[in-house]
Chains A and B, each alone.
Chain A
Amino acid sequence: MVEQILSVSGLKKYFPVQKSFVERLLSGKVDYVKAVDGIDFEIRKGEIFTLAGETGCGKTTTGRLIVRLIEPTAGKIVFEGRDITHLRGEELRKLRRRLQIVFQDPYASLNPRMRVGDAVKHPLEIHGIAEGGEAKKLVLEMLERVGLTPPEQFYNAYPHQLSGGERQRVALARAMILKPDFVVADEPVSMIDVSLRARILELMLELKRELDVTYLFITHDLAVAKYISNRIAVMYLGKIVEIAETREFFTNPQHPYTMALISAIPVPDPKAKRKRMILKGETPNPINPPSGCRFHTRCPYKMDICSVEEPQLLDIGNGHYVACHRVS
């Protein structure tokens, strides 16, 4: 039996749509963007689980729900056997020590007035792990560990003096200094130049081994997902449409949306001969998602049932889950 570290069930997050006063008078009802609309998955201890999907599919919202930065509308989040959905105050603070997040934009996620050393040291002080000279020693070690050398120099630098790649290392150091058990990494390399991306990914893998941490990796880039993940889940309009082991995911994709996503990825080889499956149209509005299967408006294999009944996420063997009427 594989040990689970985190599971979510029936997780939902609806954001109310901002309307003008006149619009409210006229309609009277509040619309919601159904960013995450009932998802279930579990993450095994020590794995890298990827949530992939396009803009607006709900992957980032899911990551934020899990670290409890936003409150879910419904559903349950269980971390190491304990329901953390409604933790507050001191309890939540204690949880955060073990559950960290790294954001996409290293230009926005660091306080511009805080020196790098202080930013990385801050979590140690908040959680009362170390202070003064001892904290500084831990920070210097961590900076060196993420490749910011010489660490003394980076300790006193301000974020604006660093490149994007260096800032992302600072963000990693800040998350990792608490030796968390679980880290949500939200598009950690998408703003980093390609020549440096592989180094950040490698660093994440090294830290994972050393600190025995589990990752929820969030990305729009399936090529990066393939490189780093053990398992991949694809989201579309707030729902999970497929979950599979990485190899199975790429060799035997079952959901038509997954197939389209894979075939849309450009390949760095001019001789690659591929039959592209190009979807028509664009992702529908998440305020009024299509009935039945949300993908049916763009699906090349659409059947009558698809616009009426929502397909359930079913296990088709070997831990491969698909939500599609063609498969069930």
Chain B
Amino acid sequence: MGHLLEIKNLKVYYYTRRGAVRAVDGVSLYMDRGETLGLVGESGSGKSTLGLSILRLIPPPGKIVDGKIVFDGMDITSMPEDEIIKIRGKRISMVFQDPMTSLDPLMKIGDHLIETIMVHENVSREEAEKRAKELLESVGILPDRFNDYPHQFSGGMRQRVMIALALALNPDLIIADEPTTALDVIIQAQILELMKELKKKFNAGIILITHDISIVAEMADRIALMYAGQLMEFSDALSIFEEPLHPYTEALLQSIPNIQLSDQKLRYIPGSPPDLINPPSGCRFHPRCPYVMDVCRVKEPPMIEVEKGRMVKCFKYS
């Protein structure tokens, strides 16, 4: 059996007046059923664009210009719109960052779920309501809140509703884009625990998109680290933290404060992320890289498989 999701050389550009912004520029990765993939990067690295392209939700002026997204054997990039609608929400669902704006303020919490179920499945309203209540219960919301409106819920509770919605149709893949970024740490911890618990119960694959590598340390089986629209390192979670291969990964890990360490010396990466209309020649990280070599300035490094399941885009390993 093939991978649940395989992305090959994906390129997504936004065509602006200033020129094409190469938000995702040649990314290849894969994930298997029931796995959690942590898609990590700083702002503007292309991680959210990559997530949206899997659902074919790239807003204009963005376009998938090249590459393939294969989900469960089907090529999503070439699929007609009426077929993608059957996959979107049902087999691949999404949890967005901001739970304040992703629910309809005029619709009761329960109706959000009932509608989602009834649009995709041929079930009676009673059946849909029964399932909706079970789903809310599984995310820790009591049935007496079924007829409440979104504004009566706090941010954390709304994010629970979003997760219930994402689970409503038993998807194979859930894309969660910064699901806890808008929440306080204690609520974040609650939501992360909930996601771990539900992942076991529903056996869905999760793509967790985040800027916070600490969250990924806790949640992910595999990690894909993006920088300036490209994948810099793609590996199992443990190896990334134990032995980071890419100079960017290494520097990033040393720039995060860790409360379990005392007298930690923090590093930072000089310079700032590049303009994606005119990205640097060669390796996109070369202007900030402490190990830069001549070749890095002129040639783009290939993705090198250092050992099975550990890939890095860096000439240090060629």
Contact = CB atoms under 8 A, between A and B. Distances in A.
Interface of A: 54-55, 163, 165-166, 193-199, 201-202, 220, 222-224, 226-227, 247, 250, 260-272, 276, 278-279, 282-283
Interface of B: 42-43, 154, 156-157, 184-190, 192-193, 211-215, 217-218, 237-238, 241, 251-253, 255-260, 262, 264, 266-270, 272-273
B42 A260 contact: no
A55 B186 contact: no
A187 B42 CA distance: 18
Given A199-B268, A261-B185, A278 B251 contact: no
The 6 closest A-B pairs by CB, nearest first: A266-B214, A198-B266, A264-B189, A198-B268, A199-B268, A223-B257
Contacts of A196: 268-269, 272
Given A269-B260, A272-B260, A194 B237 contact: no
Contact of A163 (B189, B214, B251, B272): B272
A226 B185 contact: no
A278 B268 contact: no
B268 A268 contact: no
A278 B184 CA distance: 13
A197 B217 contact: no
Contacts of A268: 213-214, 217, 241, 253, 256, 258
B255 A197 contact: yes
Nearest to B213: A268
Most buried by A among B42, B212, B214: B214
B103 to A, nearest CB: 17
Given A198-B255, A226-B259, A261-B185, 7 more contacts: A55-B184, A165-B272, A199-B268, A223-B257, A260-B186, A268-B258, A272-B260
Most buried by B among A196, A220, A283: A196
A197 B187 CA distance: 24
A149 to B, nearest CB: 12
A142 B213 CA distance: 34
A87 B230 CA distance: 55
A250 B272 CA distance: 33
Contacts of A223: 256-259
14 contacts: A193-B211, A196-B272, A202-B268, A223-B257, A250-B259, A264-B188, A265-B214, A267-B218, A268-B213, A268-B217, A268-B253, A269-B241, A278-B186, A279-B186
A276 B211 contact: no
B44 to A, nearest CB: 9
B218 A194 contact: no
A271 B217 CA distance: 8
B214 A267 contact: yes
B268 A270 contact: no
A27 to B, nearest CB: 19
B193 A54 contact: no
B283 to A, nearest CB: 16
Contacts of A227: 257, 264, 266
B189 A278 contact: yes
B215 A266 contact: yes
A54 B259 contact: no
Contact of A220 (B185, B217, B253, B259): B185
B243 to A, nearest CB: 12
B268 A226 contact: no
Nearest to A298: B186
A270 B218 contact: yes
A271 B260 CA distance: 12
Given A270-B218, A270-B241, A271-B238, A194 B189 contact: no
A247 B262 contact: yes
B189 A276 contact: yes
Nearest to A54: B184
Contacts of A198: 255, 266-268
A278 B190 contact: yes
A270 B238 contact: yes
A55 B185 CA distance: 10
A278 B156 CA distance: 14
Contacts of A262: 259
Contacts of A282: 154, 156-157, 187
A261 B255 CA distance: 22
A282 B190 CA distance: 10
Given A266-B212, A268-B217, A202 B259 contact: no
Contacts of A224: 257
Nearest to A246: B262
Contacts of A222: 185, 259
Contacts of A226: 257, 259
Contacts of B238: 270-271
A178 B314 CA distance: 46
Given A278-B190, A279-B186, A194 B217 contact: no
Nearest to B257: A223
A244 to B, nearest CB: 14
A279 B193 CA distance: 12
A220 B181 CA distance: 12
B237 A270 contact: yes
A226 to B, nearest CB: 5
Contacts of B253: 268
Contacts of B270: 199
